[in-house]
Amino acid sequence: MSDIFPKWTNRLPLMMITGALLGGTGVTAGVWYYCTNKYANVGYMPVQPVAFSHAIHADQLGMDCRYCHNAVEKSWYSNIPTSTLCMNCHNQVLKDDPKLALVRESAQSGEPIHWVQIHKVPDYVFFNHSVHVNRGLSCVECHGQVNKMDEVHQAKSLNMTFCLDCHRDPAAHLRPLDKITDLDWQPKSEESQRADGAKFMHDWKVESLQNCSTCHR
């Protein structure tokens, strides 16, 4: 009388255990990599077509972020300044510097400089700069101390965990509106930050939004 089941089924338990181990290892490795700074591009610092030092402009010269990124308070995006705006200063300052040749050519021709984007979120993520900036969230919270960078790099992960940490506890991240672009500003103490943050949340109607549709639309 022949066997009811083929002989290869004797190996089925071993095959299932091996498959589970391999699958579990793959999932663990994938999640582990997803949570690392490498995946999130922390430290990403591409070579730009023109060397621009935020440390000189924003820190040494004390230029306000909004002089160059002048749409950040009224738009979903933080705009890159045009070459003509750069020439407001550089038609007098370092006006013949060869390092600024591309800026001068761009201002004359109208052809924009092709800067390399550094800070990115996936296409399925909705982020509005003006909503955050006008409710007490400083540039430094997402971009780090750009005013200390000779070359801008990505300082924060910008992943979902990073965003949710702030959305769960907005009070810990809010500051006076006149300190939004003061990237060196620090609260007097953790207690004062909590008290002021709670007041800002009340006055500016800041909500702790954590549902999916807040960012995924």
- Together in a domain, 97 and 153: no
- Residue pointed to by tokens 């004390």: 62
Calpha distance 195→189 (Å, rounded): 10
> In one letter, which amino acid is 87?
M
pLDDT by residue for the chain (217 residues), tens only, comes to 456 767 777 777 777 888 888 787 777 666 655 555 555 689 999 999 999 999 999 999 999 999 999 999 999 999 999 999 999 999 999 999 999 999 999 999 999 999 999 999 999 999 999 999 999 999 999 999 999 999 999 999 999 999 999 999 999 999 999 999 999 999 999 999 999 999 999 999 999 999 999 999 8
Structural domain harbouring 129: 35-80+117-217
- Together in a domain, 62 and 72: yes
State pTM to two decimals: 0.79
- Together in a domain, 85 and 139: no
- Together in a domain, 57 and 147: yes
Residue 137's SS3 state is strand
